Amino acid sequence: MRFTLFALACVATAVSFGSTIRHDRADSLYTTLDNNAPFSSVGRVNVTGGLGSGTYIGFGGGSHWVLTAAHVASNISQNPNFNVTGTNIAVTQVIAFSGWGLNNNDFSLLRLASDPGVAAVPFYNGALELGRETVSVGYGATGTGLTGINAGAGTRRAFENVADYVNTNGSENVIFTDFDNPINAADNVIGSAIPRNLEGNVAGGDSGGGLFGNFGTTSSPVWRLIGVTSTLAWVDGTGNADYGDLSGYARIGGTVPTGANWIQSNTGIAGVPEPGTMLVLGAGLAALARRRRRQA
Ligand SMILES: [Ca+2]
Ligand SMILES: [Ca+2]
Protein backbone atom coordinates (compact mmCIF):
# COMPACT_ATOMS: atom_id res chain seq x y z
CA MET A 1 0.00 0.00 0.00
CA ARG A 2 2.74 2.41 0.92
CA PHE A 3 4.52 1.64 -2.31
CA THR A 4 1.40 2.09 -4.41
CA LEU A 5 0.97 5.61 -3.04
CA PHE A 6 4.59 6.27 -3.65
CA ALA A 7 4.42 5.01 -7.23
CA LEU A 8 1.56 7.38 -8.03
CA ALA A 9 3.32 10.30 -6.38
CA CYS A 10 6.49 9.69 -8.33
CA VAL A 11 4.67 10.30 -11.60
CA ALA A 12 4.51 14.00 -10.84
CA THR A 13 8.16 14.32 -9.98
CA ALA A 14 9.87 11.75 -12.19
CA VAL A 15 12.55 12.81 -14.62
CA SER A 16 13.88 11.08 -17.71
CA PHE A 17 17.29 9.94 -17.19
CA GLY A 18 22.46 5.81 -18.02
CA SER A 19 22.66 4.00 -15.06
CA THR A 20 24.13 4.35 -11.59
CA ILE A 21 26.17 1.39 -10.32
CA ARG A 22 27.35 -0.32 -7.13
CA HIS A 23 30.17 1.56 -5.34
CA ASP A 24 32.06 -1.74 -4.84
CA ARG A 25 32.08 -2.88 -8.50
CA ALA A 26 34.20 -1.69 -11.49
CA ASP A 27 32.34 0.41 -14.06
CA SER A 28 33.95 -1.77 -16.78
CA LEU A 29 31.78 -4.69 -15.65
CA TYR A 30 28.67 -2.69 -16.49
CA THR A 31 30.02 -1.38 -19.81
CA THR A 32 30.98 -4.89 -21.00
CA LEU A 33 27.81 -6.69 -19.85
CA ASP A 34 25.97 -4.53 -22.38
CA ASN A 35 27.98 -6.00 -25.29
CA ASN A 36 26.26 -9.37 -24.90
CA ALA A 37 23.26 -10.28 -27.02
CA PRO A 38 20.47 -9.34 -26.69
CA PHE A 39 21.54 -6.29 -24.67
CA SER A 40 23.63 -5.01 -27.61
CA SER A 41 20.37 -4.32 -29.49
CA VAL A 42 19.86 -1.21 -27.35
CA GLY A 43 20.99 1.93 -29.16
CA ARG A 44 21.10 5.63 -28.57
CA VAL A 45 18.12 7.74 -29.65
CA ASN A 46 19.23 11.27 -30.49
CA VAL A 47 16.55 13.94 -30.50
CA THR A 48 16.75 17.70 -30.88
CA GLY A 49 18.33 18.96 -27.65
CA GLY A 50 18.84 15.63 -25.95
CA LEU A 51 19.31 11.88 -25.97
CA GLY A 52 17.53 8.77 -24.87
CA SER A 53 17.74 5.05 -25.59
CA GLY A 54 15.79 2.52 -27.65
CA THR A 55 15.71 -1.19 -28.51
CA TYR A 56 15.70 -2.69 -32.02
CA ILE A 57 12.75 -5.09 -32.15
CA GLY A 58 12.89 -6.32 -35.76
CA PHE A 59 11.47 -6.12 -39.28
CA GLY A 60 7.76 -5.90 -40.06
CA GLY A 61 5.50 -4.24 -42.62
CA GLY A 62 8.46 -3.53 -44.85
CA SER A 63 10.45 -1.62 -42.21
CA HIS A 64 12.86 -1.99 -39.29
CA TRP A 65 11.53 -0.82 -35.90
CA VAL A 66 12.86 0.55 -32.63
CA LEU A 67 10.86 0.69 -29.40
CA THR A 68 11.54 3.69 -27.18
CA ALA A 69 9.63 5.80 -24.65
CA ALA A 70 6.98 8.27 -25.79
CA HIS A 71 8.55 10.91 -23.54
CA VAL A 72 11.83 10.51 -25.49
CA ALA A 73 10.31 10.81 -28.97
CA SER A 74 6.61 11.37 -29.56
CA ASN A 75 6.78 13.33 -32.82
CA ILE A 76 8.84 13.30 -36.01
CA SER A 77 9.45 17.05 -35.55
CA GLN A 78 11.83 16.11 -32.70
CA ASN A 79 14.12 14.92 -35.54
CA PRO A 80 15.01 11.58 -33.90
CA ASN A 81 17.68 9.20 -35.18
CA PHE A 82 18.94 5.83 -33.91
CA ASN A 83 22.59 4.88 -33.41
CA VAL A 84 23.60 1.39 -32.27
CA THR A 85 26.71 0.62 -34.35
CA GLY A 86 28.25 4.12 -34.66
CA THR A 87 26.12 5.40 -37.55
CA ASN A 88 23.06 7.62 -37.18
CA ILE A 89 20.08 5.97 -38.89
CA ALA A 90 17.25 8.29 -39.87
CA VAL A 91 13.77 7.81 -38.44
CA THR A 92 11.02 8.22 -41.04
CA GLN A 93 8.00 7.90 -38.74
CA VAL A 94 7.25 8.14 -35.02
CA ILE A 95 4.16 6.42 -33.60
CA ALA A 96 3.40 7.32 -29.98
CA PHE A 97 0.93 5.34 -27.85
CA SER A 98 -2.25 7.42 -27.77
CA GLY A 99 -2.86 8.76 -24.25
CA TRP A 100 0.56 7.69 -22.90
CA GLY A 101 1.80 8.86 -19.52
CA LEU A 102 4.88 8.25 -17.39
CA ASN A 103 4.65 4.66 -16.04
CA ASN A 104 1.58 4.17 -18.19
CA ASN A 105 2.11 2.93 -21.76
CA ASP A 106 5.06 5.29 -22.23
CA PHE A 107 5.82 3.81 -25.68
CA SER A 108 6.87 5.15 -29.08
CA LEU A 109 7.79 3.19 -32.18
CA LEU A 110 10.48 4.53 -34.53
CA ARG A 111 10.38 3.43 -38.17
CA LEU A 112 14.00 3.27 -39.39
CA ALA A 113 15.20 4.24 -42.86
CA SER A 114 17.52 1.20 -42.95
CA ASP A 115 18.60 -2.00 -41.19
CA PRO A 116 20.53 -1.09 -38.00
CA GLY A 117 22.70 -4.21 -38.35
CA VAL A 118 22.07 -5.84 -34.96
CA ALA A 119 19.97 -8.83 -33.95
CA ALA A 120 16.36 -8.12 -33.00
CA VAL A 121 15.04 -8.87 -29.52
CA PRO A 122 11.79 -10.79 -28.95
CA PHE A 123 9.34 -8.80 -26.84
CA TYR A 124 7.21 -10.52 -24.22
CA ASN A 125 3.42 -10.82 -24.36
CA GLY A 126 2.81 -12.88 -21.20
CA ALA A 127 2.18 -11.87 -17.60
CA LEU A 128 4.81 -13.76 -15.59
CA GLU A 129 7.39 -11.00 -15.06
CA LEU A 130 7.18 -10.75 -11.25
CA GLY A 131 10.36 -11.91 -9.51
CA ARG A 132 12.33 -12.40 -12.75
CA GLU A 133 16.02 -11.56 -12.89
CA THR A 134 16.36 -8.46 -15.07
CA VAL A 135 18.98 -6.57 -17.07
CA SER A 136 18.35 -2.90 -17.89
CA VAL A 137 20.27 -1.21 -20.71
CA GLY A 138 20.66 2.47 -21.60
CA TYR A 139 22.90 5.47 -22.33
CA GLY A 140 22.12 7.55 -19.28
CA ALA A 141 24.08 9.45 -16.67
CA THR A 142 26.13 7.59 -14.06
CA GLY A 143 27.55 7.61 -10.54
CA THR A 144 27.45 5.07 -7.71
CA GLY A 145 24.85 4.05 -5.20
CA LEU A 146 26.71 6.13 -2.58
CA THR A 147 27.17 9.29 -4.67
CA GLY A 148 24.11 9.21 -6.88
CA ILE A 149 24.40 10.81 -10.34
CA ASN A 150 27.69 12.67 -10.76
CA ALA A 151 28.66 12.13 -14.43
CA GLY A 152 26.91 12.71 -17.74
CA ALA A 153 25.11 10.52 -20.23
CA GLY A 154 26.23 8.96 -23.52
CA THR A 155 27.88 5.64 -22.54
CA ARG A 156 25.91 2.42 -22.73
CA ARG A 157 25.68 0.38 -19.54
CA ALA A 158 23.75 -2.68 -18.51
CA PHE A 159 22.83 -3.48 -14.91
CA GLU A 160 21.15 -6.38 -13.12
CA ASN A 161 18.15 -6.31 -10.83
CA VAL A 162 14.90 -8.14 -10.05
CA ALA A 163 11.35 -7.30 -11.17
CA ASP A 164 9.94 -6.82 -7.68
CA TYR A 165 6.81 -4.82 -8.52
CA VAL A 166 4.58 -5.49 -11.54
CA ASN A 167 1.18 -3.87 -11.88
CA THR A 168 -1.40 -2.89 -14.45
CA ASN A 169 -4.51 -0.86 -13.63
CA GLY A 170 -6.27 2.22 -15.02
CA SER A 171 -3.45 4.62 -14.18
CA GLU A 172 -0.28 2.53 -14.43
CA ASN A 173 1.13 -0.24 -16.57
CA VAL A 174 4.50 -0.66 -14.97
CA ILE A 175 7.41 -2.73 -13.65
CA PHE A 176 9.66 -1.44 -10.84
CA THR A 177 13.06 -2.54 -9.52
CA ASP A 178 14.84 -1.00 -6.50
CA PHE A 179 18.56 -0.24 -6.04
CA ASP A 180 19.55 -2.42 -3.08
CA ASN A 181 22.56 -1.40 -0.97
CA PRO A 182 25.21 -4.06 -0.17
CA ILE A 183 26.13 -2.28 3.09
CA ASN A 184 22.74 -1.05 4.32
CA ALA A 185 19.66 -3.28 4.08
CA ALA A 186 17.51 -0.39 5.30
CA ASP A 187 17.63 1.06 1.75
CA ASN A 188 15.41 -1.83 0.58
CA VAL A 189 12.00 -0.66 -0.70
CA ILE A 190 10.58 -3.72 -2.50
CA GLY A 191 11.45 -7.43 -2.67
CA SER A 192 14.73 -8.73 -1.26
CA ALA A 193 17.25 -6.41 0.45
CA ILE A 194 20.17 -8.30 -1.18
CA PRO A 195 21.57 -6.65 -4.36
CA ARG A 196 22.50 -8.59 -7.48
CA ASN A 197 26.20 -8.77 -8.42
CA LEU A 198 25.84 -5.88 -10.89
CA GLU A 199 22.84 -4.11 -9.33
CA GLY A 200 22.07 -0.59 -10.53
CA ASN A 201 19.45 2.06 -11.22
CA VAL A 202 18.30 4.11 -14.20
CA ALA A 203 19.40 7.74 -14.57
CA GLY A 204 18.93 10.60 -17.10
CA GLY A 205 19.34 9.38 -20.71
CA ASP A 206 18.31 5.79 -19.94
CA SER A 207 14.74 6.64 -20.84
CA GLY A 208 13.43 4.51 -23.68
CA GLY A 209 16.04 1.81 -22.99
CA GLY A 210 15.24 -1.87 -22.67
CA LEU A 211 14.38 -3.98 -19.63
CA PHE A 212 15.09 -7.68 -20.25
CA GLY A 213 13.57 -10.46 -18.15
CA ASN A 214 15.17 -13.89 -17.69
CA PHE A 215 12.74 -16.72 -18.44
CA GLY A 216 15.45 -19.38 -18.21
CA THR A 217 17.82 -19.96 -15.30
CA THR A 218 20.64 -17.82 -13.91
CA SER A 219 23.28 -20.04 -15.55
CA SER A 220 21.26 -20.59 -18.73
CA PRO A 221 19.23 -17.42 -19.29
CA VAL A 222 16.46 -16.91 -21.85
CA TRP A 223 15.83 -13.21 -22.39
CA ARG A 224 12.71 -11.35 -23.40
CA LEU A 225 12.20 -7.59 -23.67
CA ILE A 226 9.65 -6.90 -20.93
CA GLY A 227 9.75 -3.12 -20.43
CA VAL A 228 10.80 0.33 -21.62
CA THR A 229 12.62 2.68 -19.21
CA SER A 230 10.18 5.40 -18.17
CA THR A 231 10.95 6.89 -14.74
CA LEU A 232 13.32 7.30 -11.85
CA ALA A 233 11.51 7.15 -8.51
CA TRP A 234 12.56 7.66 -4.90
CA VAL A 235 11.34 7.56 -1.32
CA ASP A 236 14.19 9.52 0.37
CA GLY A 237 13.34 12.99 -0.89
CA THR A 238 16.12 13.12 -3.53
CA GLY A 239 15.83 11.67 -7.05
CA ASN A 240 19.55 11.12 -7.73
CA ALA A 241 19.52 7.36 -8.47
CA ASP A 242 21.42 6.46 -5.29
CA TYR A 243 20.82 3.32 -3.18
CA GLY A 244 17.17 2.98 -2.29
CA ASP A 245 15.89 4.72 -5.45
CA LEU A 246 13.81 2.83 -7.99
CA SER A 247 13.68 2.27 -11.76
CA GLY A 248 10.26 2.39 -13.44
CA TYR A 249 9.48 0.73 -16.78
CA ALA A 250 6.48 0.79 -19.07
CA ARG A 251 5.24 -2.82 -19.03
CA ILE A 252 5.00 -4.51 -22.46
CA GLY A 253 3.18 -7.70 -21.40
CA GLY A 254 0.29 -8.33 -19.04
CA THR A 255 -2.84 -10.45 -18.64
CA VAL A 256 -4.12 -8.25 -21.44
CA PRO A 257 -0.75 -7.32 -23.02
CA THR A 258 -1.62 -3.76 -24.01
CA GLY A 259 1.90 -2.84 -25.05
CA ALA A 260 2.63 -6.04 -26.96
CA ASN A 261 -0.71 -5.85 -28.78
CA TRP A 262 -0.11 -2.22 -29.72
CA ILE A 263 3.39 -2.98 -31.04
CA GLN A 264 2.04 -5.86 -33.13
CA SER A 265 -0.84 -3.83 -34.57
CA ASN A 266 1.54 -1.09 -35.72
CA THR A 267 4.51 -3.16 -36.92
CA GLY A 268 3.17 -6.62 -37.69
CA ILE A 269 5.83 -8.05 -35.36
CA ALA A 270 4.31 -10.48 -32.84
CA GLY A 271 5.29 -10.77 -29.18
CA VAL A 272 6.36 -14.08 -27.71
CA PRO A 273 5.35 -15.85 -24.48
CA GLU A 274 7.65 -17.40 -21.88
CA PRO A 275 9.60 -20.40 -23.22
CA GLY A 276 7.58 -22.92 -21.15
CA THR A 277 4.45 -22.04 -23.09
CA MET A 278 6.21 -22.66 -26.35
CA LEU A 279 7.54 -25.99 -25.13
CA VAL A 280 4.03 -27.11 -24.22
CA LEU A 281 2.76 -25.93 -27.58
CA GLY A 282 5.66 -27.67 -29.32
CA ALA A 283 4.91 -30.91 -27.49
CA GLY A 284 1.27 -30.61 -28.54
CA LEU A 285 2.19 -30.14 -32.16
CA ALA A 286 4.55 -33.10 -32.00
CA ALA A 287 1.79 -35.29 -30.57
CA LEU A 288 -0.55 -34.10 -33.32
CA ALA A 289 2.07 -34.90 -35.94
CA ARG A 290 2.50 -38.42 -34.52
CA ARG A 291 -1.25 -38.96 -34.57
CA ARG A 292 -1.46 -37.79 -38.15
CA ARG A 293 1.35 -40.12 -39.14
CA ARG A 294 -0.48 -43.04 -37.55
CA GLN A 295 -3.66 -42.11 -39.40
CA ALA A 296 -1.76 -41.85 -42.70
CA1 LIG B 1 16.90 -4.51 -6.27
CA1 LIG C 1 14.94 -4.67 -2.84
2-37+123-251 shares its CATH topology with 40-120+256-275: yes
Question: Which ligand neighbours the alpha carbon of 187 most closely?
Answer: 2
pLDDT tens profile 212-261: 999 999 999 999 999 999 999 999 988 999 999 999 999 999 999 999 99
If you classify domain 2-37+123-251 with CATH, what class do you get? mainly beta
Pairing of strands 133-138, 19-21: unpaired
For the cut 80, the answer to whether the pLDDT of residue 282 exceeds it is no
Instruction: Find the 253 Cα to ligand 2 centroid distance in Å.
Output: 22
pLDDT tens profile 57-70: 999 999 999 999 99
Q: What is the pLDDT of residue 216?
A: 94
Instruction: Find the 220 Cα to ligand 1 centroid distance in Å.
Output: 21
Domain ranges of the chain: 2-37+123-251, 40-120+256-275
CA separation for the pair 99, 74 (Å, rounded): 11
For the cut 70, the answer to whether the pLDDT of residue 74 exceeds it is yes
Q: Which residue has the higher pLDDT, 17 or 176?
A: 176
For the cut 90, the answer to whether the pLDDT of residue 2 exceeds it is no
Instruction: Find the 116 Cα to ligand 1 centroid distance in Å.
Output: 32
CATH of domain 40-120+256-275: 2.40.10.10
Q: What is the pLDDT of residue 253?
A: 98
Residues with CB under 5 A from ligand 1 (ion): 161, 178, 180
Instruction: Find the 179 Cα to ligand 1 centroid distance in Å.
Output: 5
Nearest one of 234, 237, 128, 131 to 189, comparing CA atoms? 234
Instruction: Find the 170 Cα to ligand 1 centroid distance in Å.
Output: 26
pLDDT tens profile 158-198: 999 999 999 999 888 999 999 999 999 999 999 999 999 99
- Region 199-209: mean pLDDT is 94
Percent of the chain having pLDDT more than 90? 76
DSSP characters over 178-207: E---TT-GGG--SS-SSPPTTBEEE-TT-T
Q: What is the pLDDT of residue 207?
A: 94
CB of 173 closer than 8 Å to CB of 185 = no
CB of 104 closer than 8 Å to CB of 250 = yes
Question: Which ligand neighbours the alpha carbon of 179 most closely?
Answer: 1
User: Buried b / exposed e across 236-255, counting CB within 10 Å, b at 16+?
Assistant: eeebbbbbbbbbbbbbbbbe
CA separation for the pair 219, 275 (Å, rounded): 16
Q: What is the pLDDT of residue 151?
A: 86
